[in-house]
Amino acid sequence: MDNIKIVEKLNDSRNQLFDMLSNVIVGQKDVIDHLFIALLCRGHVLLEGVPGLAKTLLIKSLSDVLDLDFNRIQFTPDLMPSDITGTDIIEEDQNTSKRNFRFFKGPIFANVILADEINRTPPKTQSALLEAMQEHRVTTGGNTYDLDQPFFVLATQNPIEQEGTYPLPEAQLDRFMFNILIDYPSQEEEIQIVKKLTTTKTTTLKKVISKEDLKSFQDLVQHVPVADNVIEYAVNLVGMTRPSSNDAPEITQNWLEWGAGPRASTFLIMAAQAKCLLSGKSTPDIQDIKDLAKPVLRHRIITNFTAEADGVSKENVLDQLIEKLKI
């Protein structure tokens, strides 16, 4: 199948996906759009939102329409790394009475992983998941096991309850392509939600994208050409977040303690490649970079005490940096 036909099939599949999810999820179009972009880029996503905003339902519904294996891991303080990756069990051969180790796969061996409340488990267990995210394989008992492809981790955390949590270190946060904030629904959307949840009507989700089609879509994204000026804009925007840079703007020097690394520039371009395909364009432009800057950068910058004292948030800093950077 040539690239033009794959693009047409991608957009048809995306429309079917949105139509199918709209039967279950009210609103959240931008969130679904960003999730689909990350999936096309083989990236992982960290979702933040208060309880009751359908984060878990959204992720489960997404896996249902994608014909992918799905596992949910509920992160708790007593969760062990082997509870995620799997463990070696001694088995005895009934004929020879010999004992051998046999590896039993953990829930990480699926295509879509929901890491629910990832900040409620100790760093040792978090690292087991994050290593799998980076390497796409699991090592245990001296043996290495490859994970199924595609492999997509969607982690959630609650931003308001910090007691008894283990915040993800910045180096581990950097492995997530997007940090998506899920906000409260509008009044009209909340009315629709209440109506859906107070009736006996059930919705059956149909699979609209096969595993093979998804892999072809992912391969196509890598072939999208990007103009040099768009790459330069993305790199310059990321560079403006680094207070140690000699030409860092006053905004950054005053309010940021740490900026984003090169991985942010790469993710910005990859996301722009996917976004332009979904928008019917042949190549991404600078507006695509601007639209994707916040989900890519917000978890990669750290504000300082001055910003906290001045009531300046990460969103405020990013807004000003985007406005300040000239095309």
Q: Which of 154, 182, 217 is the last residue of a domain?
A: 217
Instruction: Please list, in sequence order, all residues whose beta carbon lies within 8 angstroms of the beta carbon of residue 262, skipping any fewer than 6 positions away.
Output: 238
Q: Is residue 201 included in any domain, yes or no?
A: no
pLDDT of residue 318: 92
- Residues 7 and 140 both lie in one domain: yes
- Residues 171 and 53 both lie in one domain: yes
pLDDT of residue 293: 93
State phi, psi for 275 to the nearest 5 degrees: -65, -40
State phi, psi for 143 to the nearest 5 degrees: -115, 150
- Residues 174 and 296 both lie in one domain: no
- Residues 189 and 234 both lie in one domain: no
Q: Is residue 305 included in any domain, yes or no?
A: yes
Q: Is residue 204 included in any domain, yes or no?
A: no
Contact 117, 59 (CB under 8 A): no
- Residues 117 and 181 both lie in one domain: yes
Q: Which of 63, 76, 138 is nearest to 107 (CA)?
A: 138
- Residues 167 and 240 both lie in one domain: no
Contact 152, 109 (CB under 8 A): no
Residue 97 belongs to domain with CATH number: 3.40.50.300
What is d(CA 18, CA 38) in angstroms, rounded to the nearest whole number? 15
Domain span at 166: 3-195+209-217
* Range from 151-155, 193-197, 236-240, 312-316 carrying the lowest mean pLDDT: 193-197
Instruction: Please list, in sequence order, all residues whose beta carbon lies within 8 angstroms of the beta carbon of residue 273, skipping any fewer than 6 positions away.
Output: 41, 221, 222, 224, 226, 284
Q: Convert the pLDDT of each residue in 150-175 to its tens digit.
A: 888 998 887 766 666 788 877 788 88
Q: Convert the pLDDT of each residue in 109-150 to its tens digit.
A: 888 889 888 888 888 888 888 778 888 888 877 778 888 888
Q: What is the largest CA-CA distance in the chain?
A: 75
137-140 and 143-146: which strand pairing? antiparallel
Q: Is residue 202 included in any domain, yes or no?
A: no
Q: Average model confidence (pLDDT) for the chain?
A: 84
Q: Which of 258, 246, 236 is nearest to 322 (CA)?
A: 236
Q: Convert the pLDDT of each residue in 11-46 to its tens digit.
A: 888 888 888 777 777 777 888 889 889 989 999 999
pLDDT over threshold 60, residue 1: no
pLDDT of residue 56: 77
Q: Which of 168, 187, 217 is the last residue of a domain?
A: 217
Q: Is residue 200 included in any domain, yes or no?
A: no
Q: Is residue 81 included in any domain, yes or no?
A: yes
Q: Which of 279, 313, 278 is nearest to 299 (CA)?
A: 313
Count of domains forming the chain? 2
pLDDT of residue 292: 94
Q: What is the DSSP letter of 205?
A: P
What is d(CA 271, CA 198) in angstroms, rounded to the nearest whole number? 38
pLDDT of residue 122: 86
pLDDT of residue 294: 93
pLDDT of residue 163: 62
- For 171, what's the count of Cα atoms within 13 Å in the CB-facing half-sphere? 4
Q: Which of 227, 270, 273, 231 is nearest to 10 (CA)?
A: 273
What is d(CA 295, CA 312) in angstroms, rounded to the nearest whole number? 18
- Residues 99 and 132 both lie in one domain: yes
pLDDT of residue 263: 92
What is d(CA 199, CA 294) in angstroms, rounded to the nearest whole number? 37
Q: Convert the pLDDT of each residue in 4-14 to its tens digit.
A: 788 888 888 88
- Mean pLDDT value of segment 299-327: 88
pLDDT of residue 37: 92
- The CA R_g of the chain, rounded to the nearest whole Å, is 21
Q: What is the DSSP letter of 183?
A: P
Q: Convert the pLDDT of each residue in 222-243 to its tens digit.
A: 888 999 999 999 999 999 999 8
